[in-house]
């Protein structure tokens, strides 16, 4: 999968990741599962002693990932992407559906992939304010 459109989309994804200036771009991992009806990206930042989860912009990043996935011919479409930024370069690894254990829990798989890239460090998930979707919330 090396063509001008793919290169453009990979560059666009890198630019979207660079917009998060709260943390260094170096040591950023984008892991995403993509299907025709679903895009599930997760962004992690290696901070030395821990790994910080960053909430992705689903609209912009999701669209770019789906465009990248659609740039493939149907028989060559991958199921997961790992986009790792090291210094001023990036590496991309694609995983195909046949290479994924269907019995493995999605979140356990994601955590295993993060650990493979950054080591056995705690992942910090910041407290997010609840999104105002109009639904009532209750304290238990």
Per-residue pLDDT band at 1 (split at 50, 70, 90)? very low
Are 106 and 41 within 8 A, CB to CB? no
Name residue, tokens 């465009």: 67
Answer positive or negative: Cα dihedral of 100, 106, 109, 113: positive
Q: What is the pLDDT of residues 65-79, one digit of tens each?
A: 999 999 998 988 999
Q: What is the mean pLDDT of the segment spanning 28-52? A: 95
The dihedral region occupied by 12, where left means phi > 0, alpha psi between -120 and 50, and beta the remainder, is alpha
Q: What is the pLDDT of residues 65-118, one digit of tens each?
A: 999 999 998 988 999 999 999 999 999 999 999 999 999 999 999 999 999 999
Q: Which two tokens stand for residue 5?
A: 């459109």
Percent of the chain whose predicted confidence (pLDDT) is above 70:
89
Average pLDDT, the chain: 90
Q: Which two tokens stand for residue 93?
A: 């690894």
Answer positive or negative: Cα dihedral of 79, 27, 107, 61: negative
Q: Give the global pTM.
A: 0.87
Q: What is the pLDDT of residues 9-32, one digit of tens each?
A: 999 999 999 999 999 999 999 999
Burial of 100 (0-12, 13-18, 19+ CB in 10 A): middle
């Amino acid at each position: 999968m090396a063509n001008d459109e793919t290169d453009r989309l990979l560059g666009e994804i890198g630019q979207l990741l660079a917009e998060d200036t709260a943390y260094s771009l170096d040591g950023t991992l984008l892991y995403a599962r993509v299907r025709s009806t679903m895009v599930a990206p997760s962004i992690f930042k290696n901070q030395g002693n821990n790994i910080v989860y960053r909430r992705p912009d689903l609209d912009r990043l999701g669209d770019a990932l789906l465009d990248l996935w659609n740039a493939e011919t149907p028989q060559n479409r991958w199921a997961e992407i790992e986009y790792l930024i090291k210094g001023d370069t990036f590496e991309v690894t694609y995983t195909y559906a046949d290479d994924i254990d269907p019995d493995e829990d999605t979140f356990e798989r994601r955590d295993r992939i993060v650990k493979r890239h950054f080591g056995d460090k705690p992942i910090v998930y910041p407290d997010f304010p609840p999104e105002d979707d109009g639904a009532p919330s209750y304290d238990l």
